[in-house]
Amino acid sequence: MAEISVGSSYNVLNSNSITYEERQKQIKEEENREKESREKAKKSPFKNFVQVNKDYYKAEDWLMAKSPIAYRIFKFLINEMDDYNAVVCSYKVLQENFGVSQDTIRRAIKILKEKNYVYVYKSGTSNVYAVNKNIVWNSWGTNYKYAKFGANIILSESEQEKSVQAEIKMIKEKKIILNEE
């Protein structure tokens, strides 16, 4: 893709030259197309579906037999991933969700990484898990090239600062009170 040159006026000597107004119009049109696409996806009866490569089934059987916890974590990541196959969470979130030790999580993630079920990237103390798009895909085929960019972020209450934990507790208590009425 060629670079475009944006300026206050059109440069007749550069075929990739456009004005600020033309570029703003392009950006607005692109934003509208993306918005329409998101709205269409929200209304789709298939929004809760994932696409699975049939070649993956043998690997799934292997994973279930080799490490049931790795399999469960993989399914958790698939269930929580966004439309770009990514999810951000810490080991603590996984520990609390599965009721196992950090070493167990570490061993399971190691298997998932070594066998290319997931790719793991660091973001501070949390991990960004990108599910292998050749195994499972959570969006329209047109988003395939964008895997690994967006992310659903899952936070553990116990990892938060005391003030945030107190806020969460108050929110939970409000929900209980509201539900009892």
pLDDT digits (tens, 9 = 90+) for 95-149: 999 999 999 999 999 999 999 999 888 777 778 898 888 888 876 555 544 444 4
Q: Residue 177: its pLDDT value, please?
A: 54
Give residue 178's identity as a one-letter amino acid code: L
Question: In this structure, what token pair is assigned to residue 41?
Answer: 């996806």
Q: Residue 178: its pLDDT value, please?
A: 53
Highest mean pLDDT among 22-31, 39-48, 94-103: 94-103
* Helix/strand number for the chain, H first, E second: 6, 8
Q: Residue 139: its pLDDT value, please?
A: 65
Instruction: Break the chain into its structural domains and give their ranges.
Output: 5-43, 51-163
Confidence of residue 176 (pLDDT cuts 50, 70, 90): low
Task: Please tell me the CATH code under which domain 51-163 is placed.
Answer: 1.10.10.10
Torsion sign across C-alpha atoms 41, 44, 48, 54: negative
Contacts of 18 (CB under 8 A, 6+ apart): 4, 5, 6, 10, 26
